[in-house]
Structure 1
Amino acid sequence: MKSPSTAAKLRRTAWYQQPRYTRLGALIALALVLTLMVGEQGNTRDLFYSVRTSLTGVNLWICLGGALVIWLVREFGSRQVSGAVGGIRSVHNLGPWKRAQEAFRTQPRVKWTVMIALLLAALFIPGQLTGYWQTVLIDQIATYALLAIGLNVVIGWAGLLDLGFVAFFAVGAYSAAFWTGSLPVEPPIVLNNFLIIPVAVVTCLIAGVLLGAPTLRLRGDYLAIVTLGFHEIVYLVAKNADGVTGGPAGARQVPKFSAFGYEWGLEKMPYWYLLVTLIVVLIIVFVRLEHSRVGRAWTAIREDEVAAAANGVDTVRFKLMAFAIGASTSGVAGVVYASKVGYFNPENFIILNSILVLSYVIFGGMGSIPGVLLGAAILVWLPEVLRDFVDPADRYMYLGALLVVMMIYRPQGVWPSRRRQRELKLTQEGIGDADAMTEPAGGAVR
């Protein structure tokens, strides 16, 4: 029988096994991978040319130095910064700020005043930007924010991992092209773009149900693979069905939105106002939906599907509903995008775009509507800012590095939902599972 001192030594954790140094190892590994990815390209004559040149240059020390600075600041400087901020708060007495936060949470008048002010800023400030940034704002930030809101329903609320969400975006875009007569197949009737929006919603609802019905018994990785396959089916059909979708040539001359004899033409701001209106309407509807019986059912399925079914939740119906509602949102974005750009082809809907939308939701905070909007805005804006400083082929590599750092130090996202933040906190304390409020294996932690 071992003595108490020997048992204590066995329980002792070595310094390199502590979470702090594990994170340091992860950051160093990230720095090395990033150095190789943004370094010199290899060639067939020297297989190790890229490794030899990349790991001996200035980029190596820049990446390692950046990783070390992030680790030092986060591990040793966060407490000092928090203490300094706390001291400033105690000295200057920021009571009014706390009262303002509490008023925003509890008083509807204050909340609506702030939200209306933000809405007015969103409507009037973009008009002062340059044409390039207006294009980025409309074609990328607002469009992907709309997609992120829909994917948040599937992943953030229902807990269904979907890697092929942009397929519904493609369905919406091709619906707009079909009903405006921009494809080789003639439609039975040519519709106005505004009338196509409800048609695209219904089409994507059906597509969402068709995807969800065969996958009701699948979870986690298996569901992700099926959704990935669904995306590839839609992509390949769009690329190879020349007589229906136009094939690689895509859809050309999709008409612009028009109403009461006025056609929007090449002007950018009308599309911005339309997208803002759609986003506001969806936020209002989805917030009501989140706190309804449907939203609570989605939460129960996400936390523990078996327990939800045992307590009377119709998991089949609510999972299908999550797929359908998320898909319909993506279809609306597809119609607006097709009308705005006027021309698109299957390469606009590659699997990378699905991964990017998923990263926006995770980065912003799964289950949080403000979080996914902020995540989409930041991660779409950042590559455009790096355009003048970083090789276009390397921009998404830096974006990936940012996501890795974010997942190491703040896995709940930039603006997490309260429920998700509480779950992760309990998980770190060993009280609950990652996505459930149940006891861990072996019983409750005492």
Structure 2
Amino acid sequence: MAKFGVVSLSVDKEHQLNFDNLREPELRVLSNSNIIYIYRGSKSKKIYIGQSVNFLSRHSQHYSGAEEKFNVADFDQVIVLYSTYFNGSALDDVESQLITYFTADNPKAKHQAVYADDYNDIINQTSGNSVNEYTEREKVATEVVLPFWEDVLGKRGWVNTPNLDLLRTKALVKYSPIKQLTRQQHGIIDEILDKPDKSFVINGDAGTGKTVLLTHLVAELSQKKPDAKIAIVVQPNWVKTAEEIFKVYGLNSANVVVGTSIKLVNYNKDNHIHYDTIIVDESHKLSRRGNKQHPSFNKVYEGKFADEENHLEILKKLGDQVVLMYDVLQAIRPANISRASFKSATQGFERRYLTTQFRIQAPVGKDYNSDDYINGIKYLLYKDTGLLAETNFNPDFNRDVFRDGGPDAYFGYFKTSHCEICLIGLKKTVILIQKTLTEYWPA
């Protein structure tokens, strides 16, 4: 049984819908069902995405003359998507997914090429539903959104990237400021906005959504505090990606600056700009002063910053509020700020911990979950380093994650002739990693 259906309509020059050949059930869908609708201009290539419980009434509202975009966009087609899974939460979710996908599908188009109901509210998602708000979310993604995108929109030529898995790998989708957040992420953003005089350390493991939280925070600040000066500090290999994300989603105002910490510091030496908020991605990679550093790295410590020992201390002087995305378990090279210096520099900062793991999912039918898996890794690699006290490590994780002997187990063992060799190799690897952590990046 199909989990979704579509009703395709044409829109004439008088903005009238063509109901020819529609069956009675389809007419009922248009007037009394939870639906997602997508308008398209075959010549203008503009898209409008919305949701409604009465599409016919919503269509009349759009063309009442009050909405300028509908007067000029030249929409001549509309697809109405309905599903047995659709309720209020599912509609919010599907709408935000489709807006993200359409925007990422044509990044060279201007932001206005994709319209939506109350776009600014959608991009902020402050009052939206959290990512785990409804039980059928996985089914909606796999049984509705995926086939709708590939088998309906793709085959009709409405999208440039009909392979949704390919589209999902793009940074414009992975870090979209339209994605729905967890309640925890919502709460952290609200707290940052409500306490502009407070700085924050947002600690989270890889895959807990730190960068997604960053893009949403920028969107929130841009919307609610349009005059605020915002600096986003990223690693060199992510500058162009960040600039593209903020440009495509319309967050590239003159008050938003994106760059590396070196670029930001050197620019401010001459221009003396002070920021309302500075947001730093991967702050564990911020540089520190060092004799073996490349000369260009140490130039930041000249002039008014001559007494500082790392980039973090300098950034604190450039902004009223500093928000640091941080992973205490990551330390890439000796040139990075040490954990001790980071801890000292962030005395007085509010500390929050992201806990939801988005990249890992335990196999179906297991007694353990992704949190047990993450805690198991932490236990294996860091139990003797003293670092776990600075994370949200749960020592009471389910040890079954280690006892699972199945072929899809995360850990565990297999009864083969090489089993003992594999376990010894794993043990030696763990010891070597722990030794490296202790010697090069002491707590």
State TM-score, norm by structure 1: 0.21
State TM-score, norm by structure 2: 0.21
| Structure (1 or 2) with the greater strand fraction | 2
| Structure (1 or 2) with the greater helix fraction | 1
